[in-house]
Structure 1
């Protein structure tokens, strides 16, 4: 019988295609599962060598594969086979990751210092340019905002002091549980000849926390600024009476101005200045040359020997 007409023989003489006959690598993967990534590389290298030279490898002889497999077919088989993926993770594919510097070429500390100095000299001009271009404008902006903030604080302090223009504070009056502060002040003023009448007073009360072993101050709101000036001018008469020598009267100042007045009085005690007082909310000092100075900020006291220890609430 003619073998060409036999269907079985037709299967044997059928031409090779990538869809009908698996590649040697794919066929070997079906037989046994490789145990390491190196086996994939070995099979692949051997197959490539056999294909390029045209000679069949022992692997080809065992499987009966035609030695004339094209490189294109082999590459397609390698991509389609999931067992080829571990080749990427094989240490043989990335030999530089396990590279170690030879022992004879190690860097000394002097070498590292020289490298650091060279890098610094290279980067220093660029860093200076960055500072001049980006950081310096920000620094100038912050300084401008701080100056503006200080000016606004002073204006706010002026407004607050203006609202206190008719207030006075009395210190040294003994404190009782059920007392009338207005009557207490009027009795003392009448005894000492202080210019103060009931028509000048709007209201009064104690300020501060009680129970500190010291009598609290009495704050009084007068009906006019003129009444305040008359009271302050005649308040020295309290010193003429022995029973009221500890009484003092002062303008009601803002917290910031009260701190400045305290610092100015401390300079008087150290004999750095001759005298200090307040008038209409302004703090005045007289230096050793009898010249008057208006104190607006803590820095104004520095020429008289004051030392700024800590930042103030008003950074000026």
Structure 2
């Protein structure tokens, strides 16, 4: 009778093992299903991230395009508004209007002193930007009627050498951060050159004149590859 008892115990052990194996297989199926779902979720999120990046780039491009006719002038001493009101004709327009006209005149007078041609009739708007620090001179934004007047002014920027006054494209914060990092990389000789054109940031990689690539940089992350 002992062999039959041993056989019965063995059969029970085998049946238990079979059940455990079946349970493990079901668990494996569940795990594999979850892995597939996770992979799909990752793929979906990656696709969403790409779409978000595209939309963010479009918004950034639109924001930058609204400044396409702007020139930002930094380092120029501008008299305060009280001065503008004091020198304005007594029978002139509203004070705010007089402030703007006076600001344009101050910019024009400075440019003329540096033999820079500036047609005030081509200016659509002129205003100050908030100062970053208490000791910083305000930045002036000139918005031109069309881009050719803006380009004509920027081409004369070399005449400001040694004045600590600079004229540049009016970049968005995003593009300004890119340009700032690119200039730092140029100083560190990680790239050969950088510049802006039509509110876009370009870099020229190190190498021979024939082989050095010129790249348009749209995101600050694009610079990381060369920031080594």
Q: Normalized against structure 1, the TM-score is what?
A: 0.54
Q: Deviations over 1:37-56 (max 9, x none)?
A: xxxxxxxxxxxxxxxxxxxx
- 1:133 corresponds to: 36
Deviation (angstroms), 1:300? 1.9
2:76 aligned partner: 173
Structure 1, unpaired ranges of 5+: 1-117, 307-316
- Equivalent residue, structure 1, for 2:145: 223
C-alpha RMSD over aligned residues: 2.3
What CA deviation, in whole Å up to 9, does each residue of 1:118-162 have, x standing for no partner? Answer: 9xxx49735631332322211111110001100111111112222
**Higher-strand-fraction structure:** 2
Alpha-carbon distance, 1:266 to partner: 1.0
Evaluate the alpha carbon distance shift between residue 133 and residue 214 of structure 1 in structure 2; reply closer, same or farther with a 3 A threshold: same
Pairing 1:247–2:150 present:
no
SS at match of 2:136: coil
Shift of 1:211: 6.3
Distance change >3 Å, CA 276–CA 124, structure 1 → 2:
farther
Deviation per residue, 1:249-283 (Å, 9 max, x gap):
01011221111111111111111112111101211
Given that 2:72 and 2:142 are in contact with CA atoms closer than 8 Å, whether structure 1 keeps it comes out as yes
User: Distance between the aligned counterparts of 1:211 and 1:303, measured in 2?
Assistant: 33
**Aligned-partner Cα distance in 2 for 1:228–1:175:** 20
Q: Give the superposition deviation at 1:181.
A: 2.2
Q: Which runs of 5+ in 2 are unaligned?
A: 1-19, 85-101
* Counterpart Cα distance in 1 of 2:53 and 2:80: 43
Spell out, residue by residue over 1:89-127, the C-alpha distance to the aligned partner (whole angstroms, 9 max, x if none).
xxxxxxxxxxxxxxxxxxxxxxxxxxxxx9xxx497356
CA distance in 2, matches of 1:191, 1:275: 30
Is 2:162 the counterpart of 1:162?
Answer: no
Which of structures 1 and 2 has the bigger CA Rg?
Answer: 1
How far 1:303 moved relative to its partner? 2.5
Q: What residue is the counterpart of 1:143 in the other structure?
A: 46
2 CA distance for matches of 1:288 and 1:300? 16
Secondary structure at the aligned position of 2:191 is classed as coil
Shift of 1:210: 7.4
C-alpha distance in structure 2 between counterparts of 1:134 and 1:221, whole Å: 53
- Residue 175 (structure 1) shift: 3.8
TM-score (norm 2): 0.73
- Taking the aligned partners of 1:210 and 1:141, their CA distance within structure 2 comes to 41
List, as ranges, runs of 4+ consecutive aligned residues in structure 1 with deviation greater than 4 Å. none
Q: Does 1:258 align with 2:161?
A: no
Are 1:300 and 2:218 an aligned pair?
Answer: no
Matched, 1:199 2:199: no
Partner of 1:236: 158
Residue 281 of structure 1 is matched in structure 2 by 199
